Amino acid sequence: MTGCVFCKIARGEIPACKLLEDDEKVSFLDSNPLNPGHTLVVPKKHYETVMDIPGKELGKLMEIVPALARAIFNVTKAEGLNLFQTNKPCAGQTVPHVHIHIIPRNSRDGFSFGWRQGRYKEGEMEGLRNELIKALGVKL
């Protein structure tokens, strides 16, 4: 897609510190890392979000994640890793081309998700499950 920064990286039109690459996907260091070694894994074909990419293609993208994760974990001497994925601006997506973040973590980096987990009202979870099952096309 014209103007898309990750499409430009995939086509080699702008530079990136690339790691693994094949015909379908490319991985490279995030230029504004949460921690050094923060890596992005990107399909070469433009899809905006995880709702748009076919499951098979997402599967192929994920194939290189374990090898990247091991290398990042070992080289950066991380204590842990997060896989992170954003869809739409309200969920933090700034580049509208689907991507997976691999983020090396250590106990002193001070990041916190700040999640406030809620509770369902009586019957709400079951009702929602029924709607989701219907949307998924599964017969109850």
Among 30, 64, 78, 102, indicate the residue that binds ligand AMP (CB under 6 A): 30
Number of Cβ atoms within 10 Å of the Cβ of 2: 6
45 binds Zn ion (CB under 5 A): no
**Which residues have a catalytic role annotated?**
99
DSSP state of 27: E
31 binds ligand AMP (CB under 6 A): yes
Note whether 16 binds ligand AMP by CB under 6 A. yes
Does 65 participate in binding Zn ion (rule CB under 5 A)? no
The interface partner of residue 45, options being Zn ion, ligand AMP, none and the CB cut-off 5 to 8 Å by kind, is: none
User: Which position among 38, 44, 97, 101 is part of the footprint of Zn ion (CB under 5 A)?
Assistant: 97
Q: Is 1 in the site for Zn ion (CB under 5 A)?
A: yes
Across the beta sheet with 80-84, the strand order is 18-21, 25-29, 39-43, 100-105, 80-84
User: 29, 100, 11: which is closest to 63 by C-alpha?
Assistant: 100
Paired strand residues for 105: 80
